[in-house]
Structure 1
């Protein structure tokens, strides 16, 4: 007899909850301008709740993007420039680097 993958109710139930847990751990997608606003308001000393009110996103989403921002800045060889690029909305989140102008320098 051939071995078949477990596709019973318990297996589907487990996959459903795994999917739900993953969804909860991922922040809602937001545009670069909102990401920049989150970093800007944080730099101004706003609380996560205050940032959420100003930007119109959930506090959980604010927390997740602040965590992502901290991780990107900490991993950068140029943390100050990275944070500035994030606040200006010039950071390339897909590539994980700064957006440079033609001369190879970040515009200020």
Structure 2
């Protein structure tokens, strides 16, 4: 297989080295979190999950698999959402002003 792949790919000697390479290239989660993510994906693929999902097990698996968010990131997201709401209000005000100006110009023309 190594000869067949030559310069077109890489052969890994162990499953662990393959999993490490996949994590490093795609996710950068680290061994423990990558394993938790794979366990979660396997759990989600189970046919019985859709028939009677166990919210506690699913929540625990996702908590273990997903990286924790930093306080700084959460603060940035909250600030962005607040700014978005302020921008929405300003846009609404500008649209109302444009309507009033348009109505005033139409009245002046008649």
Higher helix proportion: 2
| TM-score bracket for this pair, using the shorter chain length | under 0.3
Could you tell me the TM-score, scaled by structure 2's length? 0.27
